[in-house]
């Protein structure tokens, strides 16, 4: 197995080039993914083990990335909790029955029932693992971000409902976060048992929180999850939009790496956090630049992180659906050729 990615997560990459993988590397910018999506809806791809395994491999038809990420979605919890999850073609995820009251929280299915509903994910891991020559990442959403979807019922620009609940009834909001954290811990333990080599936690919407709120509603639950996984000895990467702002707090979790949003100045981050793995952080829109400009921007990031034994090349957020395939190809070649 190509070990570059896991070596970087241990801070031990001795080769000149960093490992590279991309958030949303399996997605609509890939012709073979679009072909599968023409035949199956998104949730069927996520929830049919054979299909999820197949989609996980789609980017490897085009480029030799250094890690695979299991094809799935952080919102499967909404399906496991029977809240009517579906993905509308134009508007993204919809949760038909958002969580709205304290009694909604009390009536959620048991952990056992909810974990039973995501068993296809564990099966997909066992199917894809033997077909990979690189490490496999498992993942989950973090409690605050998942709570925001479960409450808003869709992607929201400001999380108004979520933040109103959080501030007006913090006790029941914490109760919801606890229940989500318990699900995430069970879900990740199942993924580890099925064979993933590393984990990434997505707390995408942390950027909406002020520092004290971040500590109370994001960091505390990330800490709970990290503590529960510690004995499994699997490296954990944490990602937020806002990781550039909350990098020092995230480092207290002692993650194997922090995935930096595109706002972070990487050399400054390295000075601030000499002991933590760093992943990121090319702005996904740079992949729309013409060849020479793209090469310059990738080169600039490679140059400032040159020789860093704990650096993983990635974007600051996921690959956008309209991204030209040739740009991703060029990026991977530039990183590997460094």
Least Cβ distance, residue 292 to ligand CP3 (angstroms)? 28
Q: Is 202 in the site for ligand CP3 (CB under 6 A)?
A: yes
Q: Is the dihedral of CA 301, 304, 308, 311 positive or negative?
A: negative
Q: Residue 37 catalytic?
A: yes
Q: Is 189 in the site for ligand CP3 (CB under 6 A)?
A: no
Nearer to ligand CP3, 52 or 269 (CB): 52
Q: Is 75 in the site for ligand CP3 (CB under 6 A)?
A: yes
Nearer to ligand CP3, 122 or 202 (CB): 202
Q: Is 155 in the site for ligand CP3 (CB under 6 A)?
A: yes
DSSP assignments along 273-302, one per residue: -TTSEEEEEE-GGGGGS-HHHHHHHHHHHH
Q: Is 60 in the site for ligand CP3 (CB under 6 A)?
A: no
Closest CA to 161 of 172, 150, 177, 176: 150
The interface region with ligand CP3, picked from 4-12, 17-25, 246-254, 286-294 by CB under 6 A, is 17-25
Of 30, 52, 69, 264, which lies in the binding site for ligand CP3, with binding defined by CB under 6 A? Answer: 69
Exposure class string for 283-317: b at 16+ Cβ within 10 A, else e: bbebbebeeeebeebbeebbeebeebebbbbbbbb
H helix runs in the chain, sequence order: 4-9, 31-39, 42-47, 49-57, 76-80, 102-106, 111-116, 119-128, 143-152, 160-168, 170-194, 211-213, 220-229, 247-251, 266-272, 291-304, 325-336
Q: Is 93 in the site for ligand CP3 (CB under 6 A)?
A: yes
Q: Residue 24 catalytic?
A: yes
Of 172, 228, 318, 330, which lies in the binding site for ligand CP3, with binding defined by CB under 6 A? Answer: 318
Element (H, E) at 201: strand 198-202
Least Cβ distance, residue 216 to ligand CP3 (angstroms)? 21
Q: Residue 34 catalytic?
A: no
DSSP, res 110? P
Least Cβ distance, residue 320 to ligand CP3 (angstroms)? 8
- Residues taking part in catalysis: 24, 28, 37, 73, 149
Q: Which residues bind ligand CP3 (CB under 6 A)?
A: 23-28, 37, 42, 69, 71-75, 87, 92-93, 139, 155, 202, 204, 318
């Amino acid at each position: 197995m190509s070990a570059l990615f896991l070596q970087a997560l241990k801070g031990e990459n001795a080769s000149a080039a960093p490992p590279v993988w991309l958030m949303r590397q399996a997605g609509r910018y890939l012709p073979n993914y679009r072909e599968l999506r023409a035949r199956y809806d998104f949730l069927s791809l996520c929830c049919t083990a054979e299909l999820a395994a197949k989609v996980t491999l789609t980017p490897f038809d085009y480029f030799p990335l250094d890690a695979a990420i299991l094809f799935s979605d952080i919102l499967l919890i909404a399906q496991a909790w029977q809240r009517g999850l579906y993905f509308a073609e134009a508007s993204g995820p919809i949760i038909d029955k958002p969580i709205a009251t304290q009694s909604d929280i009390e009536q959620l299915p048991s952990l056992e029932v909810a974990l039973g509903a995501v068993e296809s994910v564990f099966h997909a891991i066992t199917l894809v693992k033997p077909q990979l020559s690189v490490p496999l990442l498992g993942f989950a959403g973090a409690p605050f971000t998942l709570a925001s979807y479960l409450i808003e019922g869709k992607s929201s620009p400001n999380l108004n409902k979520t933040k109103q609940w959080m501030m007006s009834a913090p006790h029941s909001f914490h109760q919801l976060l606890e229940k989500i954290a318990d699900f995430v811990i069970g879900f990740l333990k199942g993924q580890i048992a099925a064979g993933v080599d590393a984990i990434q936690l997505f707390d995408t919407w942390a950027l909406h929180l002020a520092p004290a709120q971040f500590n109370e509603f994001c960091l505390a639950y990330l800490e709970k999850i990290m503590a529960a996984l510690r004995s499994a000895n699997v490296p954990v990467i944490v990602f937020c939009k806002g990781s550039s702002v909350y990098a020092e707090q995230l480092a207290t979790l002692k993650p194997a790496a922090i995935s930096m949003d595109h706002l972070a100045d990487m050399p400054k981050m390295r000075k601030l956090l000499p002991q933590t793995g760093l992943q990121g952080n090319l702005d996904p829109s740079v992949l729309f630049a013409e060849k020479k400009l793209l090469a310059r921007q990738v080169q600039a990031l490679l140059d400032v992180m040159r020789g860093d034994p704990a650096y993983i090349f990635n974007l600051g957020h996921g690959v956008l659906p309209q991204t030209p395939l040739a740009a991703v190809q060029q990026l991977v070649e530039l990183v590997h050729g460094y």
